[in-house]
Amino acid sequence: MQTIDLRGVTCPTNFVMAKLELEDIEAGTTIEFLLDDGEPVKNVPRSLKDEGHKLLALQEKDEYYVLTLEKGED
């Protein structure tokens, strides 16, 4: 599974980068994003869900989160 590290990237750039990554993969594919604690983890998952992707898991690690999602249909 592909893992995209968005740690150290602030809002809303992290969301835009995630969106661009998702454009390059097939619908139904699972992908992981690493997100900083704080604003990024509060905003990015919700915004991606609003774009029609399916959130599978969001797990807390040391000072960051791993978001696993399945790309939705366009």
Q: Is 7 exposed, middle or buried (0-12, 13-18, 19+ CB in 10 A)?
A: middle
Counts of helices then strands in the chain (DSSP H, E): 2, 4
Q: Is 28 in the site for another protein (CB under 8 A)?
A: no
Q: How far is the CB of 31 from another protein (least distance, A)?
A: 15
Q: Rounded distance, CA 67 to CA 56, Å?
A: 8
Q: Is 27 in the site for another protein (CB under 8 A)?
A: no
Residue 31 annotated among the catalytic residues of the structure: no
Stretch that binds another protein, among 2-10, 11-19, 23-31, 40-48 (CB under 8 A): 40-48
Of 21 and 43, nearer to another protein (C-beta) is 43
